[in-house]
Amino acid sequence: MKDEFVVIPKATISRLPLYFRVLSELDHVGVTIVSSEEMATKVGITSSQLRKDLSYFGGLGIRGTGYDVSYLLAKIKEILGMNQRRRLAIIGAGKLGTALAGYGGFLQHGLEVKALFDIDETKIGWKFGEIGVYHISELKRRKKEFSLDIATIAVPAAAAQQVAEMAVEVGFNAIWNFAPVRLEVPESVYVRNEDLVVGVLILSHHLTRINQ
- Using CB under 7 A, list all residues that contact DNA: 1-2, 9-12, 34-37, 45-49, 51-52, 54-55, 59-67
Question: Is 208 one of the binding residues for its own copies (CB under 8 A)?
Answer: yes
Question: Is 19 one of the binding residues for its own copies (CB under 8 A)?
Answer: no
Residues 6+ apart with CB under 8 A from 144: none
Beta-ladder partners of 150: 88
CA dihedral 65, 70, 73, 74 (to 10 degrees): -120
Residue among 15 and 135 whose Cβ is closer to its own copies:
15
- The binder of 62, among its own copies, DNA, none, by C-beta within 5 to 8 A per type, is DNA
CB of 125 to its own copies, least distance (A): 21
- The binder of 137, among its own copies, DNA, none, by C-beta within 5 to 8 A per type, is none
DSSP code for 87: E
CA angle 109, 86, 145 (to 5 degrees): 140
Cβ-contact 80, 20 below 8 angstroms: yes
CB of 71 to its own copies, least distance (A): 19
Q: Which of residues 145-184 bind its own copies (CB under 8 A)?
A: 149-150, 173-174, 176, 180, 182
- The binder of 185, among DNA, its own copies, none, by C-beta within 5 to 8 A per type, is none
The b/e string for 33-48 (b: 16+ C-beta within 10 A; e otherwise) is bbebebbbebbebeee
Residues 6+ apart with CB under 8 A from 97: 90, 91, 116, 118, 152, 154, 155
Binding site for its own copies (CB under 8 A): 13-14, 16-18, 20-21, 42-44, 79-82, 84, 86, 88, 95-96, 98-100, 102-103, 105-106, 109-111, 149-150, 173-174, 176, 180, 182, 188, 190, 192, 194-208, 210
